[in-house]
Structure 1
Amino acid sequence: MDVLNSAIGSLNDALWAYLVIPLLAIVGVYFTVRSRAVQLRLVPEMLRTLRSHPESAPDGRRAISAFQAFSISAASRIGTGNIVGVAVAIALGGPGAVLWMWLMGIVMGSAAFVESTLAQLFKVKDETGFRGGPAYYMTLGLKARWMGVLFAVAIIFTFGFAFNAVQANSIASAVSGSVSTATGAQAPGWIAPTVGVALAVLAALVIFGGVRRIAHVAQTVVPFMALTYLVIGLVVVGMNVDQIPVVLTDIVSSAFGLREFGAAGVGTAIMMGIRRGLFSNEAGMGSAPNAGATASVSHPVKQGLVQTLGVYFDTLVICSVTAFIILVSKPVYGDEVGAELTQKALEANLGAWSLHLLTVIIFLLAFTSLVGNYYYGESNLRFLTSLPTALPVYRAVVVAMVFLGAVASLDLVWSFADTTMGFMAVINLVAIAPLGTLALRLLLDYQQQRKQGLNPVFTRDRLPDVEGIECWEPQPADEHDPRSAPGVR
Structure 2
Amino acid sequence: MNIITAVYNFLWGDLITLPLPGGSSIGISLLVLLLVPAGIYFTIRTRFVLIRKFPHMIQIAMEKNEHSQAGSISGFQALIVATATRVGMGNLVGVVAAISAGGAGAVFWMWLLALLGSSTAFAEGTLAQIYRQKDPLYGGYRGGPAYYIHDFMTKKKQNGPAKEKRYSLIAVLFAISGLICWCGISQVISNSVSSAMKNAFHIPPLYTTIFLVVVAAIVVLRKNATVHVLDVVVPIMAGCYLLITLFVIIKNIGALPSVFQRIFEEAFGLRQVAAGGFGAVLMNGIKRGLFSNEAGSGSAPCAAAAADVSHPAKAGLMQAFGVFIDTILICTCSALLMLLAPADKIAGLQGMDLLQSAMQYHLGEFGVIFIAVILFLFSFSTFIGILFYARSNVAYLFGDNWLSQTAYKILALIMLFIGGLAAYTFVWDLGDVGIGLMTIFNMIALIPLSGQAIDSLKDYERKEK
Change (3 A) 1:320 1:405: same
Deviation at 1:285, TM superposition (A): 1.2
- The answer as to 2:22 corresponding to 1:13 is no
Q: Work out whether 1:153 is the aligned partner of 2:176.
A: yes
**1:391 paired residue number:** 405
CA distance in structure 1 between the aligned counterparts of 2:185 and 2:266, rounded to whole angstroms:
29
Match of 1:97 among 93, 106, 117: 106
C-alpha displacement at 1:202, in angstroms?
Answer: 1.5
Inter-partner Cα distance in structure 1 for 2:64 and 2:309: 7
2:174–2:438 contact (8 Å) kept in structure 1: yes
Post-superposition offset of 1:6: 6.9
1:73-472 equivalences in 2 (<5 Å): 73-127=82-136, 128-143=139-154, 145-159=168-182, 161-179=183-201, 187=202, 191-210=204-223, 212-260=224-272, 265-331=277-343, 335-386=348-399, 388-451=402-465
Displacement of 1:121 after TM fit? 0.4
Cα distance in 2 for partners of 1:270, 1:418 equals 19
Contact kept? 2:5, 2:429, Cα under 8 Å: no
Following the alignment from structure 1 to structure 2, what is the Cα–Cα distance between the partners of residues 164 and 62? 26
Identity, in percent, stands at 38
In 2, are the aligned partners of 1:206 and 1:213 still within 8 Å (CA)? yes
- The offset of 1:440, in angstroms, is 0.6
How far did residue 122 of structure 1 move? 0.4
Q: Matches of 1:328 and 1:411 in 2, distance apart?
A: 28
What letter corresponds to residue 175 of structure 2 in structure 1?
A: A
Whole-angstrom CA distance in 1 between matches of 2:244 and 2:387: 29
Structure 1 residues 427, 92: CA separation in 2 closer, same or farther (over 3 Å shift)?
Answer: same
Deviation at 1:419, TM superposition (A): 2.0
In structure 2, distance between residues paired with 1:6 and 1:116: 31
Residue 112 of structure 1: how far off its partner (Å): 0.5
* Equivalences, count: 436
When residues 124 and 10 of structure 1 are mapped into structure 2, their CA distance, relative to the original with a 3 A threshold, is closer
Q: Secondary structure at the match of 1:321?
A: helix
Contact kept? 1:156, 1:376, Cα under 8 Å: no
CA distance in 2, matches of 1:198, 1:321: 28
Which is worse superposed, 9-18 or 246-255?
Answer: 9-18
8 A Cα contact 1:192 1:407, kept in partner: yes
TM-score for the superposition, normalised by structure 1: 0.85
Relative to 1, partners in 2 of residues 1:92 and 1:118: Cα closer, same or farther, differing over 3 Å? same
Aligned to 1:462: none
Amino acid at match of 1:364: L
Question: 1:279 Cα shift?
Answer: 2.3
Q: Secondary structure of 2:420's partner?
A: helix
TM-score using structure 2 length:
0.89
Q: 1:302 & 1:10 partners in 2: Cα distance?
A: 37
Letter in 1 for 2:395: R
Q: Which segments of 5 or more consecutive residues in structure 1 lack a partner in the other structure?
A: 180-186, 452-489
Shift of 1:330: 3.1
Q: Provide the C-alpha distance between the structure 2 equivalents of 1:397 and 1:99, rounded to a whole number of angstroms.
A: 38
* Distance (Å, rounded) in 2 between the aligned partners of 1:288 and 1:328: 32
User: Which stretch shows the higher mean deviation, 274-283 or 138-147?
Assistant: 138-147
Mean CA deviation greater in 324-333 or 424-433: 324-333
C-alpha distance 274-228 of structure 1, shift in aligned 2 (>3 A) = same
Structure 2 unpaired stretches of 5+: 16-26, 157-167
Give, in angstroms, the shift of residue 240 of structure 1: 1.3
Q: Which amino acid aligns with 2:65?
A: H
After superposition, give the CA deviation of every residue in 1:8-37 in whole Å (9 maximum; x if it has no partner): 764431469331101111111111111111
1:465 paired residue number = none
| Maintained 8 Å contact 1:167/1:366 | yes
